[in-house]
Structure 1
């Protein structure tokens, strides 16, 4: 943990560099890259702060806190982009986050964990329940697109109203999944908190070691810093992608989710290499569920409130990619057992999809 924290602390230097680059009007590519790197350690410290606070406040409130802040970095980044009118980039980031967590994060975890322990087991019932919830999420984001493509002359306001109604349903389902996982069937999700309690410590000793108000302060400061860095990142996004020769679709689906999920990538892989595959799968699939059932619906409603309408009418190729990711992730995780080959299959699927998005022509009007 010390080495990982030292690495993230070193990356904090990119925050003042990105701010200086914005003030001094440096090349947009420099501002974009430094802001992107600066967000990575902030996401890591946000996750660490929520885990430390969860030790003190208990499993139920702690679980809710982790669920709320688990994807706060992506939510803040997407909201800033939405506020700037980059609606299609926000949609691409949503689908990209789901794909990244299911294929890249879980793939690396299963590959590296499998190379060390040959085979690893995790709770199959929880994996199947998560799979069912992901199937619902795919249906929910597919329906508005299907309505738009199978209707003639459907109004934009009608599609927006449908998306808001679907978003409300998804948020209600997300609330039910929280109730199920933290209250009525919490024993199915009893995977612990990563790297918080030391061996041999009692719960009371672990609580006594945590400075609650310090970590609350860290959480507030980091959230503000993420908002600032997101503003810089989004502000330089258009010019930077043109200069780098990247399409906005590739940037939204592949690049931005990797930036926002970097800390979760590290956590999932670290615990998998400690033979805690239950926790690793929980991090990867849980994050995808949060994106699909909470972050996306919140952004739809937020856009409707702030006057930047965002519907759930996605690019058809993005829907194909999400469906493929959910299909293979569900297939591999359904038996409650993993090995390095299954991790390789997930990574290979992610590589194929990444190449497809790289060569996919930019969508007209995306930026």
Structure 2
């Protein structure tokens, strides 16, 4: 079945979840229906951004794609942050990084490898992304290390350190955009060309930019509404459904927010366009680590819901392991189905570990 048809069918969960909210249905029903409603909204947000990018040109279009690439996760996380669920936000951020590196790239390499014996992609950009992910791990690790190697350090100090680190990460993110779209854009031309040819031919007409801007605004509002319903029902629903809190934050919520990107990465991999597939998976992880997480730290500081970069050590271990194996597998610019299995197996092991890990304070 065509993925766009599946996303269109899932739109039915929008009125169901909103109706459930006003009729005071059980929190579990509202939680599950709003989660399902976010999936197609995220897909249409991505489609609207791509259509607008066709009209505004490659530079501004590339910036829009980079900015809106993880808008769903940013909106969901911001609403959770506004509600004071800081640990949920942290868990969702680490889960998004892990999911993109292991689940998305794993499925892409596995299913693409079943159809094509070996698939190639640009190793230079993969190594650059790997180096950037290493920086992200260091940036997440050090505030936590400061907290655990100090005695009596004030939360305000960790918060100030986190804001300073967040500014550094956002600066690096801006420089990576400048690098990929301006000074070294030729390294990324293959992925761009594949994206344009995904449907076999270039579009014969210019999209109506105002129509797609309107759709983007409506869909963004829809994501905000559904995220509000999801966050409101989160704590009670997870208890009713028997889902461990940490598992919900790290595994369940990121899969919902990233479902549309997952489908895109796997679909293009099965068309032997592994350059674009790897770019989607690694690029999304980088956006989360270098842009979304720092923005949330600064936003929390501004709105009076302090969020620092002092993560649960177990979450950091999971991120470091994910980055390590993803970098190891992607560094040679070649993939096959067994490498996809290795990534998926790592994800399953990490998911099991989070399932059996006791819930941490603030997630229960």
Query: What band does the TM-score fall into relative to the shorter chain?
Result: over 0.9
2:17 is matched with which residue? Answer: 18
In 2, the alpha carbon distance for the partners of 1:195 and 1:174 equals: 24
Q: How many Å apart are 1:195 and its aligned residue?
A: 6.2
Structural mapping, 1:25-40, within 5 Å: 25-40=24-39
Kept after mapping to 2: 8 A contact 1:119/1:338? yes
Q: How many Å apart are 1:7 and its aligned residue?
A: 1.1
Distance 1:198 1:328, change over 3 A: closer
2:130 is matched with which residue? Answer: 131
Structural mapping, 1:114-129, within 5 Å: 114-129=113-128
Structural mapping, 1:145-184, within 5 Å: 145-184=144-183
* Equivalent position SS for 1:143: helix
Structural mapping, 1:52-63, within 5 Å: 52-63=51-62
2:227 is matched with which residue? Answer: 230
1:218 is matched with which residue? Answer: 215
1:51 is matched with which residue? Answer: 50
In 1, the alpha carbon distance for the partners of 2:50 and 2:114 equals: 28
* Equivalent position SS for 1:167: helix
1:65 is matched with which residue? Answer: 64
* Equivalent position SS for 1:209: coil
In 2, the alpha carbon distance for the partners of 1:51 and 1:118 equals: 31
* Equivalent position SS for 2:195: coil
Which of these residues, 246, 253, 262, is aligned with residue 256 of structure 1?
A: 253
1:194 is matched with which residue? Answer: 195
1:103 is matched with which residue? Answer: 102
After superposition, the CA RMSD in angstroms is 1.2
In 1, the alpha carbon distance for the partners of 2:291 and 2:157 equals: 22
Kept after mapping to 1: 8 A contact 2:261/2:280? yes
Q: How many Å apart are 1:194 and its aligned residue?
A: 3.1
- The runs of at least 4 consecutive aligned structure 1 residues that moved more than 2 Å come to 193-201, 364-367
Per-residue CA deviations over 1:163-207 (Å, capped at 9, x if unaligned) read 000000000000000000111001111212636775354xxx64x
Deviates more, 1:153-162 or 1:51-60: 51-60
Distance 1:331 1:197, change over 3 A: closer
In 2, the alpha carbon distance for the partners of 1:133 and 1:167 equals: 14
1:308 is matched with which residue? Answer: 305
2:338 is matched with which residue? Answer: 341
1:94 is matched with which residue? Answer: 93
Which of these residues, 259, 281, 284, is aligned with residue 281 of structure 2?
A: 284
Per-residue CA deviations over 1:135-157 (Å, capped at 9, x if unaligned) read 00000000000000001100000
Structural mapping, 1:350-361, within 5 Å: 350-361=347-358
Per-residue CA deviations over 1:233-270 (Å, capped at 9, x if unaligned) read 00000000001111211110000000000000000000
Q: How many Å apart are 1:58 and its aligned residue?
A: 1.2
Kept after mapping to 2: 8 A contact 1:52/1:196? no
Q: How many residues align?
A: 362
* Equivalent position SS for 1:194: helix
In 1, the alpha carbon distance for the partners of 2:208 and 2:131 equals: 39
In 2, the alpha carbon distance for the partners of 1:47 and 1:28 equals: 29
Per-residue CA deviations over 1:89-136 (Å, capped at 9, x if unaligned) read 000000000000000000000000000011000000000000000000
In 1, the alpha carbon distance for the partners of 2:154 and 2:228 equals: 32
Distance 1:195 1:183, change over 3 A: closer
Kept after mapping to 2: 8 A contact 1:100/1:254? yes
Kept after mapping to 2: 8 A contact 1:51/1:196? no
In 1, the alpha carbon distance for the partners of 2:311 and 2:109 equals: 30
* Equivalent position SS for 1:236: helix
In 2, the alpha carbon distance for the partners of 1:198 and 1:9 equals: 19
> Are residues 1:243 and 2:240 paired?
yes
Kept after mapping to 2: 8 A contact 1:108/1:343? yes
Structure 1 unpaired stretches of 5+: none
TM-score (norm 2): 0.98
* Equivalent position SS for 2:223: helix
Q: How many Å apart are 1:364 and its aligned residue?
A: 2.5
In 2, the alpha carbon distance for the partners of 1:343 and 1:10 equals: 29
Per-residue CA deviations over 1:195-221 (Å, capped at 9, x if unaligned) read 6775354xxx64x33111111111110
* Equivalent position SS for 2:151: coil
In 2, the alpha carbon distance for the partners of 1:222 and 1:195 equals: 23
